[in-house]
Amino acid sequence: MALLEVDDLSVTFARRGQRAVHAVDGVSFSVDAGEVVGLVGESGCGKSVTSLAIMGLLPKQPGLRVGGKAVFDGTDLLQLDDRSRRDIRGRDIAMIFQDPLSSLNPVIPIGLQVTEVLTRHRGMKGAAAAKEAAALLDRVGIPDPKRRLKEYPHQLSGGMRQRALIAMAVACQPRLLIADEPTTALDVTIQAQILELLKELVRDSGTALLMITHDLGVVAGMCDTVNVLYGGRVVETARRRPLFRQPRHPYTVGLLGSVPRLDAGRGEKLNPIPGSVRDLLPWPDGCAFAPRCARRIDECVGEPPQLVHTHDGRSYRCVNPEPVPGTVPAPREEEQA
């Protein structure tokens, strides 16, 4: 059984006098123990909302409705009361966020921000907690950890801050780590370091990783399985290699095609997907991607496309998928080793 099984998850924000906004509209995917799973899509496709819904961290406001299931190790997270959720968060499921500066409390030393997790979930206090915190900082590659414990977030560099956040997330050896765009706010060189660190931690501890990103380079370098999200639904699921070699959904094809390439000629134009994510959710009659789709046919309008499962364990939501063999070569093959 999968470690995390998200089934038909939907999130709507309703406001009095306004049409309800569907941020996530029936997302299903699963994460196996120790697996690295990618959740990929453009801004506004519902990636972050999905992760926050799983964690129970969506802003509590009237009109928020979360439907479906998110079963973690046999328990439906969405049905838990606030206390049980707090027990699981940080201990069994931990999360890393996008902007390391704003994600750290500016007025509290790094040390306390690490030890408070240890105190909460592992009952560690005082010197023992401080020692463990220093060991954690050391493990995520922060030099001179004892001194850093006394410092404040503004005294650390961006990469160090993200390392500190990772240290807090892995403090209780969670079984699932959710990383929401963990490298977006960082310099490219630092990005590579952080991804390398995450990879290493996942490999060493056997923690499963749900990687939320819009960056296909991150996916190519890390993920075992990839879920492509569009308009609040998963439109394609596949293992990494087949996905890059033979994308079936036209949206995945578009995503891969829009990555700028170094080996492209100077005069060659970039290749974006035309249009933008429409906020026409729930899915209208037919495919939400149809208005932007290059392979659009008459059948695309009318019925929303069903998920098609193929014999090799892939699935896609399209009535006119890209034919096999795929036309787009897998990028950066050498990085996948």
Partner 1 sequence: MFRFIVRRLLQLIPTLFGLSLLLFIWLRRLPGGPETAILGERGTPEMRAAIRRNMGLDEPILVQYGRFVRRMIKLDLGTSTSTKRAVTTEFIERFPGTVELTITAMIIAIGVGIPLGYLAARRRGRFLDHASVGGSLIGICIPVFFLGYVLKAIFSENLHWFPSSGRQDPTLGATRVTNFFVLDGLMTREWDAAADALWHLVLPAIALASIPLAIIVRITRASVLEVLNEDFVRTAEAKGLTEQTVRRRHVLRNAMLPVATSIGLLAGGLLSGAVLTETVFAFSGIGAFVAEAIGQRDYPVLMGFILIIAVVYVLVNLLVDLSYSFIDPRVRVR
Comparing C-alpha atoms, which of 22, 35, 93, 1 is closest to residue 237?
Answer: 35
* 72 near partner 1, rule: CB under 8 A: no
Query: Segment near partner 1 (CB under 8 A), from 27-35, 112-120, 208-216, 251-259?
Result: 112-120
Query: Segment near partner 1 (CB under 8 A), from 34-42, 110-118, 195-203, 228-236?
Result: 110-118
CA dihedral 103, 97, 189, 38 (to 10 degrees): 180
* 154 near partner 1, rule: CB under 8 A: yes
Residues 36-65 that bind partner 1 (CB under 8 A): 55, 57, 59, 62
Omega before residue 325 within 30° of 0, cis: yes
Query: Segment near partner 1 (CB under 8 A), from 39-47, 104-112, 133-141, 195-203?
Result: 104-112
* 86 near partner 1, rule: CB under 8 A: yes
Angle at 99 between CA 97 and CA 105, to 5 degrees: 85
Candidate list 97, 244, 289, 316; residue touching partner 1; CB under 8 A:
97
CB of 87 to partner 1, least distance (A): 6
* 13 near partner 1, rule: CB under 8 A: no
In DSSP notation, 111-168 reads HHHHHHHHHHHH---HHHHHHHHHHHHHHTT-SSHHHHHHS-GGGS-HHHHHHHHHHH
Q: Which is nearer to partner 1, 13 or 152 (CB)?
A: 152
CB of 256 to partner 1, least distance (A): 31
Candidate list 20, 21, 108, 297; residue touching partner 1; CB under 8 A:
108
Omega before residue 284 within 30° of 0, cis: no
Q: Would you say 13 and 20 are in contact if contact means Cβ atoms under 8 Å apart?
A: yes
* 123 near partner 1, rule: CB under 8 A: no
* 309 near partner 1, rule: CB under 8 A: no
* 195 near partner 1, rule: CB under 8 A: no
Q: Would you say 50 and 38 are in contact if contact means Cβ atoms under 8 Å apart?
A: no
Q: Which is nearer to partner 1, 106 or 325 (CB)?
A: 106
Query: Segment near partner 1 (CB under 8 A), from 17-25, 37-45, 91-99, 212-220?
Result: 91-99
Q: Which is nearer to partner 1, 152 or 192 (CB)?
A: 152
CB of 135 to partner 1, least distance (A): 18
Comparing C-alpha atoms, which of 201, 137, 207, 197 is closest to residue 168?
Answer: 137
Q: Would you say 41 and 233 are in contact if contact means Cβ atoms under 8 Å apart?
A: no
* 89 near partner 1, rule: CB under 8 A: yes
Report how far residue 122's alpha carbon sits from residue 263's, in angstroms, rounded to the nearest whole number: 51
Candidate list 43, 105, 327, 336; residue touching partner 1; CB under 8 A:
105
* 125 near partner 1, rule: CB under 8 A: no
Comparing C-alpha atoms, which of 194, 167, 191, 221 is closest to residue 38?
Answer: 221
Amino acid letter at 278?
R
Q: Would you say 314 and 237 are in contact if contact means Cβ atoms under 8 Å apart?
A: yes
Report how far residue 27's alpha carbon sits from residue 29's, in angstroms, rounded to the nearest whole number: 7
Candidate list 54, 78, 134, 165; residue touching partner 1; CB under 8 A:
165
The residues that touch partner 1, with contacts defined as CB under 8 A, are 55, 57, 59, 62, 82, 85-91, 94-95, 97, 99, 102-109, 112, 116-117, 120-121, 152, 154, 165, 168
